[in-house]
């Protein structure tokens, strides 16, 4: 039976009803997973293999029959490692049905069907006994239940249940132990992802609401490729601290706990951010360690393993504070069964207040529910703000009637400050309206911007007090957008509002250009690369499943990625390939663009990067992609505020700069707002 899931088309804003079947969900889950990245993580795989061989050997040395419980088996890889190492029987538990089926095929193809039993259940639903899925308790426990925050996939409840019901008291665990580390730092870059800073640009001064600065923020981890955050963009205020460890070979508790580390401040500054990552000890001696530490902690950074399934974490302290060099500080981490949070205390606070763990962060200002962390960074970008203010000054007059379209933006506030006669803003979200209202109140501009909860096509002249719009504003930014062309919703809004525009009304931005560049990724290619063999095992069934997902409808299109976290080399020059004129209506017929870009560098082309550049005026442009020229070697600098589109090629192209070119074909479909695309290699 078919079902339908509702939503709004991120371009047109029209209701979007997508056919939703089991097959659709399955393919989308596979297409967006990181299974290929994990299979390509040779550092992880080899260290798991070493830990498993050692654990099996320890049980064999006790004269016991080796029975393995593998929770979250995925492809069955770790169970096959255990069987190869000498395990007599492996119970491989996998709750995701398509993966469990793939594991069955992989296990069978590798000849382990008699030794490995696939159980398609959550481990907490597995039972032991004559009527259970397991005939006997295991004496080796193998798991891969971890995420960037270590415990975010429910590792602690799963371990707790396993030790109570599924494994023997003296079991061996792989990994044996996990250790969480943290470091207190000052960073204007990172703290700008959680705090709204004062605006002091082009003669305008705008203060943020105090409630935003005092708010502890959203309770969700900020996971990033910390290796791509330059060490020069933060200053360590303390040493790297060992916060806590979990011994997986012993009973584990999922109850909330707190752990503290006391240290002396290495330097003075603003305590703003905590950087965190973790290690896995694969054996009790700690001789086999799988580390999530960022590359700049290595003596040879280029030798650091890359992975996208486990990254590093940034935590924002509930409030910023000044610390002095040599001051004694206590950093505390708390965790429940799924998440971590941090707090900082000085000895003076400890003397005056009873010791208590920091409360779980909870947003009370609503801004952290309205603005994502990249959005905070975008609003705090002074250079970007200056361009918008300069563009506004060029189009506003004393009698301007402005209408802003977007989600939670500051442009309508700036328009009033510059001197527009009237300013209206369409804000469909109640929380957006509340946050902007508070910004206005804090800056003594109550009522200066009229916030309207009306869709563009429903707006009438009466809603504007009988006025017509002389300036239509947008960044564009819409919270539902992911891909670069989702900002074209502004164009649809402009078209819907055409009857309310004065003749000759200014449209800001005037238009946009879709840009592309063919690239060679340093590492990101791994998340879509086939892996027919892994550590000597045939995992081609996984490739077949991924390939099937790639043949599915959405997976053949571009996908969003924050490319500042994923270094790449440009193999062609960046170029605009399709232009959208916002001063005109959205056309009724498709727009197409075809051409080719000569290859200017040799390399392995993994795909095409795509982004929008918005033309605020004839001479002021804001890029949501490349923010600087490509270096001579092809290095690219990407905006941290927006995700770019990436079209991965089915197979990489080995390119030569002599006479070859990347051909492209784009078609904008106005009915759906989609941009269809195709690429190839053509002789020049």
Residues recognised as catalytic: 144, 153
Residues 6 or more apart whose CB falls under 8 angstroms from that of 629 comprise none
Exposed, middle or buried by CB within 10 Å (0-12, 13-18, 19+), for 131? exposed
E strand or H helix that includes residue 496: helix 489-496
520 to 471, 634, 652: CA distances (angstroms): 42, 9, 9
CA 263 to chain centre: 32
Q: Is the bond preceding 101 in cis, omega lying within 30 degrees of 0? A: no
Beta strands 241-247 and 177-186 are: antiparallel
Exposed, middle or buried by CB within 10 Å (0-12, 13-18, 19+), for 351? exposed
Percent of the chain as helix, strand, coil, to the nearest 5: 30, 35, 40
> Is 423 within 8 Å of 412 (Cβ atoms)?
yes
> Is 423 within 8 Å of 402 (Cβ atoms)?
yes
Q: Hey, what are 96's tokens? A: 């995701």
Question: Measured between alpha carbons, how far is 683 from 322 in angstroms, rounded to an integer?
Answer: 61
> Is 80 within 8 Å of 109 (Cβ atoms)?
no
Question: Measured between alpha carbons, how far is 539 from 287 in angstroms, rounded to an integer?
Answer: 29
Q: In b/e form, how buried is each residue of 634-654, taking b as 16+ CB within 10 angstroms?
A: bebebbbbbbbbbbbbeebbe
Phi-psi region of 450 (alpha: psi -120 to 50; beta: other; left: phi over 0): beta
């Amino acid at each position: 039976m078919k079902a339908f899931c509702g939503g709004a088309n991120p371009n047109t804003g029209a209701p979007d009803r997508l056919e939703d079947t089991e097959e659709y969900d399955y393919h989308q889950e596979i297409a967006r997973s990181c299974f290929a990245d994990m299979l390509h993580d040779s550092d992880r795989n080899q260290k798991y293999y070493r830990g498993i061989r050692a654990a099996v050997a320890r049980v064999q040395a006790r004269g016991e029959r080796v029975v393995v419980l593998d929770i979250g088996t995925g492809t069955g890889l770790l169970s096959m490692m255990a069987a190869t190492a000498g395990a007599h029987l492996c119970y491989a538990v996998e709750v995701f049905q398509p993966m469990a089926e793939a594991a069955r095929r992989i296990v069978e193809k590798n000849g382990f069907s008699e030794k490995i039993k696939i159980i398609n259940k959550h481990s907490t639903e597995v039972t032991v006994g004559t009527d259970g899925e397991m005939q006997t308790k295991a004496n080796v426990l193998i798991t891969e239940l971890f995420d960037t925050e270590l415990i975010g996939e429910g590792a602690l409840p799963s371990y707790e249940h396993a030790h109570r019901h599924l494994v023997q008291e003296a079991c061996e665990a792989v990994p044996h132990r996990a250790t969480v580390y943290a470091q207190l730092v000052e960073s204007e870059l990172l703290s700008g992802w959680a705090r709204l800073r004062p605006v002091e640009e082009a003669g305008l001064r705008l203060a943020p609401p105090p409630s935003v600065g005092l708010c502890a923020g959203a309770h969700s981890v900020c996971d990033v490729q910390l290796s791509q955050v330059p060490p020069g963009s933060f200053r360590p205020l303390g040493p790297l601290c060992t916060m806590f460890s979990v011994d997986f070979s012993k009973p584990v508790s999922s109850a909330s706990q707190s752990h503290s580390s006391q240290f002396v401040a290495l330097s003075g500054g603003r305590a703003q951010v905590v950087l965190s990552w973790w290690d896995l000890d694969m054996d009790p001696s700690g001789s086999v360690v799988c580390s999530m530490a960022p590359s700049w902690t290595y003596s040879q950074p280029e030798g650091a393993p890359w992975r996208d399934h486990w990254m590093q974490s940034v935590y924002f302290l509930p409030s910023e504070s000044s610390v002095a060099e040599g001051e004694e500080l206590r950093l505390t981490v708390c965790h429940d069964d799924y998440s971590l949070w941090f707090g900082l205390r000085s000895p003076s606070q400890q003397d005056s207040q009873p010791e208590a763990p920091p409360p779980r962060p909870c947003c009370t200002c609503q801004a952290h529910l309205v603005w994502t962390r990249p959005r905070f960074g975008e609003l705090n970008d002074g250079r970007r703000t200056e361009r918008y203010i300069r563009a506004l000054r060029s189009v506003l007059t004393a009698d301007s009637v402005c209408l802003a379209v977007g989600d939670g933006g500051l442009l309508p506030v700036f328009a009033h400050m510059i001197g527009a006669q009237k300013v209206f803003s369409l804000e469909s979200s109640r929380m957006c309206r509340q946050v902007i209202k508070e910004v206005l109140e804090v800056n003594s501009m109550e009522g200066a911007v009229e916030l309207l909860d009306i869709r563009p096509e429903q707006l009438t002249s009466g809603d504007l007090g009988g006025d017509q719009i002389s300036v239509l504003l947008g960044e564009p930014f819409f919270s539902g957008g992911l891909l670069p062309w989702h900002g074209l919703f502004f164009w649809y809004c402009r078209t819907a509002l055409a009857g309310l525009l004065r003749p000759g009304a200014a449209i800001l931005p005037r238009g946009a250009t879709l840009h592309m560049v063919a690239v060679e990724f340093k590492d990101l290619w791994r998340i879509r690369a086939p892996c027919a063999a892994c550590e000597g095992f045939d995992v081609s069934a996984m490739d077949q499943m991924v390939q099937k997902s790639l043949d599915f409808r959405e997976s053949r299109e571009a996908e969003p990625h924050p490319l500042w976290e994923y270094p790449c080399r440009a193999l062609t020059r960046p170029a605009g390939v399709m232009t959208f004129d916002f001063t005109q209506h959205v056309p009724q017929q498709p727009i197409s663009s075809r051409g080719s870009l000569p290859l200017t560098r040799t390399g392995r082309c993994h795909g095409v990067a795509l982004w929008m550049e918005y033309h605020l005026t004839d001479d002021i442009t804001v890029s949501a992609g490349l923010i600087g020229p490509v270096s001579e070697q092809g290095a690219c600098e990407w905006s941290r505020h927006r995700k770019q589109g990436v079209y991965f090629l089915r197979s990489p192209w080995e390119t030569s700069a002599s006479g070859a070119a990347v051909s492209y074909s784009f078609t904008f479909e106005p009915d759906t707002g989609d941009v269809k695309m195709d690429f190839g290699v053509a002789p020049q």
